[in-house]
Amino acid sequence: AQSVTQLDSQVPVFEEAPVELRCNYSSSVSVYLFWYVQYPNQGLQLLLKYLSGSTLVKGINGFEAEFNKSQTSFHLRKPSVHISDTAEYFCAVSGSGRRALTFGSGTRLQVQP
Amino acid sequence: KAGVTQTPRYLIKTRGQQVTLSCSPISGHRSVSWYQQTPGQGLQFLFEYFSETQRNKGNFPGRFSGRQFSNSRSEMNVSTLELGDSALYLCASSPRTGDMNEQYFGPGTRLTVT
């Protein structure tokens, strides 16, 4: 069975500082990895995805993530955050023909001025 | 293109009642999935429909059901509502079925059971 662990439930950071949101997954088969963002009272918006190929994936709003197969990680990074990045971020995995996303518990990013 | 739309956005029901939620996917998308989001359990997969057929089902009781119409619109139904069914129900659409296909989410329907 697949599972996703987001190691930090909350990450406070000052505006313009860099940030890394950590995500580890477990799966015995090939996986596809996603990061979604959820703003208050809204649905989920796809930030980026890893399907295959280059392990460094660039997404929207200046975010990027690196797939590390040996460490089974898919950490999300942004070199300089803005107040508007305050939201909840979810890492998700699919694969093995299940055709469903398995989500982590989420990380609340709080950007302070 | 218009995004995924869900109706209603908010709903209040009483224990024991039933409820039907509606989802209209992005035009041209044929796969619709449903997820339940609660503070305690997080985001959990309910089921997926593709070409009017249920392709996959999560670990939820039979009180949760769904269907998909020929225009790809989908409905989910919850019968005999329990307090624990209070949640944000998210619908997601995808052009095709399959693990590699990214899913586009709607704004959700917030169901409160009293």
Q: What's the pLDDT tens digit per position in A11-51?
A: 999 999 999 999 999 876 778 999 999 998 889 999 999 98
Q: What is the mean pLDDT of residues A81-93?
A: 96
| Residue B99 DSSP class | T
Which of B36, B54, B102, B110 should we substitute to test contact with A (largest number of A Cβ atoms within 10 Å)? B102
Q: How distant, in Å, are the alpha carbons of B6, B28, B57, B74 from that of B2?
A: 12, 11, 27, 16
For residues A49 and A7, what is the distance between their CA atoms, to the nearest angstrom? 19
Using CA atoms, how far apart are residues A79 and A65, in angstroms rounded to an integer?
A: 11
* Cβ atoms of residues B111 and B52 within 8 Å: no
pLDDT digits (tens, 9 = 90+) for B3-35: 999 999 999 999 999 999 999 999 999 999 999
- Whether A80 has a pLDDT exceeding 70, the answer reads yes
Q: Which pLDDT value is given to residue B8?
A: 97
Compare B95 and B93 and report the one with higher pLDDT: B93
How far is A13 from A109, CA to CA, in rounded Å? 8
User: Which residue's structure tokens are 């079925």?
Assistant: B97
Q: In 3D, which of B96, B114, B105, B99 has the Cα closest to residue B37?
A: B105
Of B35, B97, B108, the CB nearest to A99: B97
- The reply to whether residue A46 touches residue B98, judged by beta carbons under 8 angstroms, is no
Contacts of B23 in chain A (CB under 8 A): none
The answer to whether the beta carbons of residues A92 and A3 sit under 8 Å apart is: no
Decide which of A1 and A12 is more confident.
A12
Mean pLDDT for chain B overall: 94
pLDDT tens digits along B52-64? 999 989 999 999 9
Residues forming a β-bridge with B18: none
**Mean pLDDT for chain A overall:** 92
Minimal-distance CA residue of chain B relative to A40: B107
Q: Name the residue facing A100 among B48, B90, B104 (closest C-beta).
A: B48
Amino acid at B74: S
Please list, in sequence order, all residues whose beta carbon lies within 8 angstroms of the beta carbon of residue B41, skipping any fewer than 6 positions away: none
**B107/A32 touch (CB, cutoff 8 Å), yes or no:** no
Cis peptide before B25 (omega within 30 of 0): no
What lies within 8 Å, CB to CB, of A28 at 6+ separation is A96
Pairing of strands B109-113, B10-13: parallel
Tally the C-alpha atoms within 13 A of residue B8's C-alpha that lie toward its C-beta.
9
Mean pLDDT, rounded, for B88-97: 91
Our separate counts of H helices and E strands in chain A read: 0, 12
